[in-house]
Every structure is written in structure tokens, then in C-alpha cells.
Structure 1
């Protein structure tokens, strides 16, 4: 009872603790990467701060918040948490996209000739700016997406800093030419694989993490020597402009062309001009399955390779032998409700074994009831969950919940849209707990991308894995327990591109390759695999000792007998070369090869 009464304080202190840990990690990264090489010291850059970040700013509240304006092609940007107008953005036209790609292509010619030290300096300059201006960056992300400051600190700042740190520390190793083995017949050759710049690459990114989704592919492309065109979502067009200006300022302050980074903001009907453009050499797409089909079909026109990262229905399997169910419940809360559930690797299904199923329902129910909705920029001490990007899917979410209840599920908390008394124009959905969900229900198979906690019972470890693998998606997964055999079985048998053991999504914080299988996409970004994926993988076979031996083509053979004899001499020479009993026989074999051309 005492735990329940103090739950709001626990949630608040949990957020404070997470924030402190994230800041500590950030400054550790700063000290390690920025201060350790005098030749790569970051430059100072200045970017004008948006007036909307001023605490005194008080924008107009839209009567009917929407990104579309009647009678205009402009993108109307507003804050989903309160409906305040952020500004208007003129969308790019096909001609504008052509100009942006042409600028990037021209700038990339010189950028491809830069050293890795020069590229690291740009990344360190960007890192320095982020560390010194993280409050502003987080505020911009919150204004445009409706998320809380804690969500912005973890999902935007921390992971972007980690990617910068990893690329600065390990990127050169990933792109260093790699020796490859040779064969006996080709032992006089030297083989290696190189990773070289592709030219101009593109990224079409989602709105749920406007800063990190923009910066992630940009960091990799710049380090590999390519230029990048980033198409941000029309839902976060306002922040995309600011984030692009950060990257361009970092380049300019280090003496490089800011045209290496181009931001494209357009309506969906224009996006195909970018994804089918012949001067784009690779596309990273982060978004939904329906849009991915259009992107893949469009890219196929110019045979442009695509890395597709789609949504998921990520399971968290809770085994019977967990030690601290309260601690695990905290992790599950973070995994489910971060960014109001709008997280591609968020926990969408909690699959629980029988012994702790009822206990977990009780704990989660109490905690979810205590969650407070609102704008953390206006009321930072009393908000746990932010707004959703829009209210367009609210009816669909309510329908899915009602359908599950009609089939036997129980909705213990929430279940419908929320009309905020302080922010009536904001887009809020009640934090929801739905239990006794079965695999046959629609809500267990369709991606929710919402603050809805779905709890599913499982009879055994095998049954839990079967449930986890029962959807078309396979992005990430989590498993909690202590028995090493059961943990190993789950990690081996669950269908996913990534798995966290006794944690949530930690693979993303250590720059492991990121991506899924099945309906969650294909390809990987992050880590060595991600860097190499946006390079031209070039195989090079060179002479090891050109002064001694090389490859030559024999002349035409006059008749079958001569052909057979010469073939036998060549073969016997090769055999003697490798397996002769002394050096003289090896030299004789080598001479026969040379003599016979």
C-alpha cells in the first residue's frame, strides 16, 4: 500500500535518475573523444536559436491543429502537446530536389578526398555543439514531437552522442582495408577489400525521433566520405530545418562545404522524385510498411539499394524465475511508454509465464494509473507521458481495444483518447493496460505505436517463444530471467534482428548493427555493418611480387596432342611447385610455367 501511495514520487525520481545517468555518460564521452587528440580539436560554431525555444514565447493556439493548410501547399508546423503554431515551411518541388542533389554531388567530390582525421574533426565539432546545447536541442525535439524532456534526453541526445562517440573511436577501424586469404594457385597475388565513398546517399526518416533519426544516417555518411540528402517527415518539418543547420554549421566551421548536407521537406507525392533519382546511390528508409513498398518500388527504377527499417511488434518475455519483478516492471514501463509508445523498438507485447502473471498485472496497473499526461516544457515536474504526433489514429486504437475486450481481454486502465483540461488542442491518448490478450486478437498482431501496454499469458518457455514469433514483425525483443538455459533458448529461437537480455533496447546504446527481419525490413545501420553498407565495397587483387612472377595468357594451341602436352606440363609444374621434395624441383616447376606462356 505504501508503494502505491508513493508511486508518483518514484516515477519522478526514476526520470531524474535516468536523466543524471544520461548526462554522466554524455560528459564521459566528451572527455574521451574530444580532449584526446590535439590535431582533431573541435571548432566553434554558432547556430541561431529558434525563438520558439524562448521561455517567454507564446505561439498562437490553432483551432484545428493540422499540418495541412486549406488553400495552401505549405506545411503547417505545430506542437502536438498544446496545438501552438511553430511556423510554416514551403515544401520542396522536384526542381528543388534536383538542385539540392546537384549541390551535394558537387561538394562531395572534394569531401571524398579528405582524411579520416578531417572527418573526425567535423564529428567532434558536432559533438561539442550538442553537448553545449543539449537543452535547446531537447526543447526543439519536444516542441515538434510532443515528447517529454526525459524521452528527448534518452531517445534523442544520449543515443546520438553515443553514435558520434562510437564513430569517432571505431569508425576508422571499420573502414580500414581488410586483408583476405588467397588460394594456392593464386599465391602470387595479394587480396584486400576496401570501403570507399558512394557519392550522394539519401535518408527518408520518421518523425518519432526527429533529432536522432536525422543525425544518425548523417553521421555515418559524412564519415564514409559521402554527401547526404535527408528527407525529414512533414510532421516534424520545423525541427528538421534547425537540425540541418547544426550539421551545416559544423561543416562550415571546419572549412568544408555545408552543401554536403541537404534537407528535403516535401509532401508524399513529391518524395518519389528523390527516391528514384539516378544520382542517389543508396537510401536509408525509416518508417512504416505501406510507405516502404512505395520507396522500394521507386528506388527500383534507378536500381538504388535500400536499407529498410520498419516498425515492430517487439515482445518482452518474462520468465518465472525473475528475481525482482518490481525492477523489471520499471524497465517494462520505460519500454512501453517512452515517447508515448511511438518507438519502433518499443515493447508492444509483454509475454508472461504463469507464476508471476497476476503479480505483474497488479504492479503495472498501479503504476500506469499514476502516469500524468501533458507538456513537459510547460510543467516539467508533473508530466510522465507526452503527446502523440497527431490524433489521426485515435479511432483505430479505440477500435482495436474494443475488439480485444469483445474477445475476452480486460482493459484495466485507460483505453481511449484523453481530453486534456490544460491543453485541449493537444493530442493525448490515455496510458492503457490491456491484459489476457491472445495471439488471435488483432491488437496482438498490428503495430500500435501508442501508449498501450499489452499483457499476454504463456504456459511455458516454448509457448512464449511461439507467441513472440506469431506476428509478421521481427525487429527487436527482450527476455527477462535468471536460468541461463532458458535465456539462451529464447535468444536463439526468437525471430528478431536484435535481442536484449534482462534489459530493454540496450543494443541501440552500444552501436550494434540495427535492423530487423520479416515484416520489419532488411539491411542494417549502426556499427561496422552500418558504415560499410553505405560504401562501395571494392575487391582488389594485386601482384605480390610483380618482379618475380605474374599472370600471362598462353598462345593458341595448334593441335590436340600439343594442347594436352602443354596442359600436362603446366599442371605437373604447378604440382611440383607446391609439393616438390626440394627447392630445385620447385624452381623447375616454376620455369615450366613461365616457358609455356
Structure 2
């Protein structure tokens, strides 16, 4: 696959036009209809994928159900070995995976793909799923617990990071002995299909992993509503997440959801700005701000607000923007719909009285006119109650809010419905720990943002950001259920 031009798509036979994986076969939708997948930097068609319906979801779920018994009874060591093989193939095709995801999402290269590491980490957990022994009041009785798979699981993947998010669901599900049906986002399904092809080459049996493409309101809606699906995972918007939860409630099945965030970065007076500013800028411009954990709010002590805004303005002014295949730091938004959403919030911020310090506009010019490019933007003078400080924009828009004391900083940080990620910038360890304990977020970083390469750090939200954890040993527990076994050994 080329890394120099978006027009060329040669994945060494790893992608098939208008085909999805069901029961080990690459097939079109039963209706024969297809969806064009566009390059958001140029609006050129990359490939077609099937426009599946409930009938295709039913076929995939049936295939997963047929494969479940055999896969459940496959030894954990063998399941782990197959995941290791999948990881190795992903490592061999790392450039293909990274380039394809850049093409369909529009983001510049991130560097080494995390996918092989995710698969390798999870493969090592497959034979370490354990239970407990339990004491009894009767000397001849032994109690114990065992963890067992659910059966057929469903996973709905968003478009912003389809590859890593897919394996974050699929790997623990398969390691624990489940089978799974994946429905990727219609805007960016190609990386998921590529990973599925590599999984089959690694020896994952037919039906264990199925990937069905299509629109959310059609194929996506049918997956959690299917009566054979025993567990669901969803990453996406709160609006769609609520619909998925309703479908799961009707079938009384458990659900893991990650529904976005409005992540705060609290900057204390003693913070090292030379260290903080580049990270703060990257935390909102990486993937064009289309990241659930994006650091979209900076909460800074009033006495250093001006200094920080000046430094951030300079950093934002140096962010290079363009098509993914150029040496740039920020690419386009995924679609015209997303572009209109972000531009709408820029208008809302102005109307609310916030000051645009940098950006605030759609980019124009020869290299921008075919894509969905918006300038990285800083709003100053933001009040906690403003919509731009409360609602997830999912774009490169940073809101700067001031505080007078630590209690106010915590109140502002916790003053949204979200609680996914947070960061504290300070040299004072005691204050850092105190703030980390008081901020309502599933992950809090000190003097960095995100997991910073930590392997196995659980990821998930508080409040409306969702529930359940991925990216760690906790993910295995998400895909298993506990059974109590009582043994009476008396003669």
C-alpha cells in the first residue's frame, strides 16, 4: 500500500471490494447494495462496502452462535496462541494498517500502531482467567467460582480510531471464549475489514469473528436487538448509546458503553509551561480533536491565564494542517456532517460571548477545498455554563476557563455530565494526588495526557461517559460471567 498518495489502495489482497466477513466467507449484502467509503481529505472513493440489513446481521449472529461451542471448548492456551499469530500478522502489516486508517479517517500517521501490542497483551491473558476458592461452614464442602464466556457478543465501533477500538473489544472477547459480531462505522470500516482478513489468515476459525458493514440505523440497530446476542459493547455518541442501551434492556443483556467526554486539563500556578503547552495543544489537535478523551477544556489559575493563552496561541499557530499524506500534524474532519457540527459550535461560542484567540474558521485554498478542514481554535473568556464548555464538540476546539482557588478548579472540572479523562499540571505532588482523587474521571494523568504508554491501564468513564473498562486485564472480566460451584465431598 502506498504512503504517498491517497488515490492508490493496494493492500496486498487484504481488501475485497463490497465484501464483509460472515462465517469465514467474504460476501456482499443480501440486498446487493453498497456504500462508498470516502477519503475525507479529497472526497474520493476508497472502496465500497456492503450496505447490510437486519438479514445480514442475523446471518452473522447465527454463524457466531454455530461457532461458539467449539471455540468455548478450545483450550485457553490455543486461543491465546491464535491471538499471538494475529498480533504477529498485524505487526508484519503495520504500515498497511496505519496507512489505511489514515486514509479513511483522514489523520496523519500516529507512529507505530498500538494494535499488535493490544493483541499481544490480551493473548497473554487467555490462560490466566481464574476464579476463587470459597470457605464453607461444613468441613466436607468446597465452594469455588469460575469465569465463563457469555456466548455471542456484539460490538459497534466508531469511526475515529476503528482499528485499536475494534481489537480492544474483539481480543478480550475471543480470549475469554466468546464469539463476536462487529459492526464498524460506515464512515471508516476498511481498517476493521483488513484486521478481520488478518485474523482469518492467523487461523481464527470461521464464525468466531464476523464483521458486518452498513449504516447505524440499519445493521447497527439490528445487532443489539438480536435475541441471540448475549453481551454488547458500544463506543460512540450518547444519543446512539441510549438507543443501544434500550435495545439491550429489552433483551436483558449486559453492555459496556463509552460515550465521549469533555476532558479537563487543570493547570496550577507552578506548572512547567514549556512541558505542558505542547501536550495541551496535541491533546486537542491529535486526530483533529475527534477523540473521545480529547483535552478540550483548559482550567487555569487566573494569575497565569494570559501567559498560558499566549503560549498556547503560539503553539496552535505552528500546527500544520493538510491531507494525511503530507507531513502535517492535523488532518481533516471525517465528513461534511462533522464539519458542519464543528463550525456550528464555533458560531455558538461567539454568540455566547467567548473570544476566538486563534482559528475559528474553515480553511480554504487548493489543498483544503476538497476536504473537511477546520483551523485549530482557542476560545478564551469561556464560562463554565457555556455550551462550548459543556458539550462534546469532537473537533479541534479548546476552551480556556479561569479559576481562583483549587476548590473552584475541581468544581469546574466536575461541572459537566462527562467524566472520561482528566489531567493535572503541577510540580506539587501532594496537590496533584489531591486533585486526582477529587476529579470525577475514569483516568487522571499528572504532567502528561492519557495513558502515556502505560500498558494495561484500565480505560473507561464516570457519569455520562459510560461504564465498563477496556485496555487492561479488566476487559477479560467484562467478557466473562461468574459461576459458583459447590462440591460436597462427604462419603
Contact 1:461–1:486 (CA under 8 A) maintained in structure 2: no
User: Are residues 1:161 and 2:116 paired?
Assistant: yes
User: 1:224-263 alignment to 2 at 5 Å?
Assistant: 224-251=176-203, 256-263=204-211
Aligned to 2:130: 176
Work out whether 1:448 is the aligned partner of 2:393. Answer: yes
Pick the aligned partner of 2:490 from 536, 546, 561. 546
Q: How far did residue 407 of structure 1 move? A: 4.0
3-state DSSP class of the match of 2:172?
A: helix
Give the alignment partner of residue 370 of structure 1, picking from 315, 318, 327: 318
Deviations 1:74-125 (A, max 9, x none): 3111100111111222211222211111111111211111112211211111
Is it true that 1:343 corresponds to 2:291 in the alignment?
A: yes
Q: 1:506 to 1:280 in 2, by over 3 A?
A: same
Moved more, 294-303 or 87-96: 87-96
User: Post-superposition shift, 1:385?
Assistant: 0.3
2:233 maps to: 284
Task: Note if 1:430 corresponds to 2:384.
Answer: no
How far residue 507 of structure 1 moved from its aligned partner, in angstroms, is: 7.0
What CA distance in whole angstroms lies between the structure 2 residues aligned with 1:336 and 1:456?
A: 15
With structure 1 as the length reference, what TM-score do the two structures score? 0.75
Aligned residue for 1:443, secondary structure, equals: helix
**For 2:169, what is the secondary structure of its paired residue?**
helix
Q: Does 1:526 align with 2:486?
A: no
CA 1:420/1:190 → structure 2, altered by over 3 Å: closer, same or farther?
A: farther
1:202 and 2:151 equivalent?
no
Instruction: State the partner residue of 1:84.
Output: 44
Query: Following the alignment from structure 1 to structure 2, what is the Cα–Cα distance between the partners of residues 269 and 408?
Result: 37
Shift of 1:510: 2.1
- Answer whether contact 1:420 1:426 (CA < 8 A) is retained: no
- For residues 249-294 of structure 1, the C-alpha deviation after alignment (integer angstroms, 9 at most, x for no partner) is 212xxxx523211011122332222111111110000000000111
Q: Which residue of 2 aligns with 1:129?
A: 89
Q: Secondary structure at the match of 1:259?
A: coil
* Cα distance change, pair 115–494 in 1 and its aligned pair in 2 (3 A): same
SS of the aligned residue for 2:227 comes to coil
Aligned-pair RMSD on alpha carbons? 2.1
Contact 1:47 1:245 in 2 (8 A): no
Partner SS for 2:336: coil
Q: Residue in 2 aligned with 1:497?
A: 442
Alpha-carbon distance in structure 2 between the residues aligned to 1:420 and 1:172? 55
Equivalence for 2:356:
411
Distance 1:50 1:169 in 2: 29
Per the TM alignment, residue 224 of structure 1 is displaced from its structure 2 partner at its CA by 0.5
Q: 1:396–1:231: structure 2 CA closer, same or farther, 3 Å change rule?
A: closer
CA–CA distance in structure 2, aligned partners of residues 244 and 420 of structure 1:
38
Distance 1:375 1:406 in 2: 31
Residue 221 of structure 2 is aligned to residue 269 of structure 1: no
Partner secondary structure for residue 73 of structure 2: coil
- The SS at the match of 2:382 is coil
Normalized per residue, which structure has more helix? 1
Q: Residue in 2 aligned with 1:218?
A: 170
Change (3 A) 1:483 1:535: same
Conserved? CA contact 1:164–1:219, under 8 Å = yes
Indicate the larger mover: 507-516 or 95-104: 507-516
How much does 1:438 deviate?
1.1
Structure with greater strand percent: 2
**What's the CA shift string for 1:5-28, capped at 9, x where partnerless?**
xxxxxxxxxxxxxxxxxxxxxxxx
**What is the number of residues matched between the two proteins?**
466
Separation in 2, partners of 1:325, 1:269: 45
Task: Report the equivalent of 2:408.
Answer: 463
For residues 226 and 437 of structure 1, the distance between their equivalents in structure 2, rounded to whole angstroms, comes to: 47
Residue by residue over 1:352-379, the C-alpha shift from the partner in whole angstroms, topping out at 9 and shown as x without a partner, is 11343222111110111121111232x2
Secondary structure of the 1:506 match is coil
Q: Is the 8 A contact 1:320 1:353 kept in 2?
A: yes
Is the CA contact 1:130–1:137 (under 8 Å) kept in the aligned structure 2? Answer: yes
Q: State the Cα deviation string for residues 159-213 of structure 1 (Å, max 9, x = none).
A: x23322322334433x122234x25x34543222211121111101100001111
Match in the other structure for 1:5: none
Equivalent in the alignment of 2:25: none
**Contact 1:508–1:514, Cα closer than 8 Å, also in 2:** no
> Does the C-alpha gap of structure 1 residues 130 and 193 become closer, same or farther in structure 2, counting only changes over 3 Å?
same
Separation (CA, whole Å) in 2 of partners of 1:48 and 1:362: 50
Q: Which has the higher contact order (CA 8 A, sep 6+)?
A: 2
State which drifts further: 284-293 or 514-523.
514-523
Per mean C-alpha deviation after superposition, the further-off stretch among 80-89 and 504-513 is 504-513
Contact 2:263 2:421 in 1 (8 A): yes
Contact kept in structure 2, 1:196 and 1:537, CA below 8 Å? yes
Computing the radius of gyration from Cα coordinates, the structure with the larger value is 1
Q: Conserved in 1, the CA contact under 8 Å of 2:125 and 2:175?
A: no
Within 2, Cα distance between the matches of 1:171 and 1:506?
23
**How far apart, in 2, do the equivalents of 1:314 and 1:533 lie?**
24
Give a deviation string over 1:327-374, Cα, whole Å, max 9, x none.
111111221111000000110101111343222111110111121111
Q: Distance in 1 between the 2:83 and 2:51 partners?
A: 29
2:78 — aligned with what? 118
Q: Tell me, what secondary structure is at the counterpart of 1:266? A: coil
Name the residue aligned to 1:62.
none
Distance 2:80 2:342 in 1: 45
Alpha-carbon distance in structure 2 between the residues aligned to 1:112 and 1:93: 28
Q: Which residue of 1 aligns with 2:261?
A: 312
What CA deviation, in whole Å up to 9, does each residue of 1:381-437 have, x standing for no partner? Answer: 3x1101111121434433433333344422111102112412421111111111121
